[in-house]
């Protein structure tokens, strides 16, 4: 039987990821944060597929890099590095990103359809204080860089619109 690790298991997307395939009775483990590498390492048992969600709520004009952005990046880095160390049992990493990682840029109306080469412009995000998009872009780029470097099987899901309630199991 497959096992899955869902980080950020209290988020909207994670609640649906956890509840959707319950008919097959997989084993789920949920973690709140993976900012410390030791936490991540013990959470990766044998035969584990990994779902990762990293995020925070949109803030106002103030962006504390060390409190919002850095933990997201280090959490992603720690998870990817732990997956690399468990590569004999981790088959795929599924990262839930956001459409904000691809559509915020000065030429947004000129590019369609979007594909894997499209990214939000970090300077655009800074200028208009789109901190969530800024963070999601950095996190996803970091995940892709590590996946390429360590030859990990990474899939990124980019929901463009979500609506509904968080499911409670």
Q: Which of 67, 136, 150, 151 is catalytic?
A: 136
For 67, the 3-state DSSP assignment is: coil
Contact 101, 120 (CB under 8 A): yes
Residue 164 burial (CB < 10 Å; 0-12/13-18/19+)?
A: exposed
Rounded to the nearest angstrom, the gap between the alpha carbon of residue 157 and the centroid of all alpha carbons in its chain is: 8
The dihedrals phi and psi of 109, each to the nearest 5 degrees, come to -80, -10
Q: Answer yes or no: 136 catalytic.
A: yes
Q: Kindly report the CA angle at 145 between 82 and 39, in degrees rounded to 5? A: 20
Residues assigned a catalytic role: 136
């Amino acid at each position: 039987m497959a096992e899955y690790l869902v980080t950020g298991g209290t988020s909207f997307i994670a609640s649906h990821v956890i509840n959707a395939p319950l008919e097959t009775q997989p084993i789920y483990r949920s973690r709140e944060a993976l900012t410390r590498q030791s936490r991540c390492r013990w959470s990766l048992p044998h035969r584990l597929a990994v779902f990762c969600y990293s995020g925070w709520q949109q803030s106002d004009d103030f962006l504390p890099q060390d409190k919002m952005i850095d933990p997201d990046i280090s959490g992603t880095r720690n998870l990817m590095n732990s997956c690399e160390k468990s590569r004999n049992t981790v088959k795929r990493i599924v990262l839930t990103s956001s459409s904000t990682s691809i559509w915020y840029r000065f030429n947004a109306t000129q590019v369609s359809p979007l594909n894997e080469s499209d990214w939000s412009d970090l300077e655009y995000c800074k200028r208009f204080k789109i901190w969530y998009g800024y963070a999601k872009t950095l996190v996803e780029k970091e995940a892709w860089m590590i996946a390429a470097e360590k030859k990990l099987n990474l899939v990124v899901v980019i929901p463009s619109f979500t609506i509904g309630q968080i499911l409670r199991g």
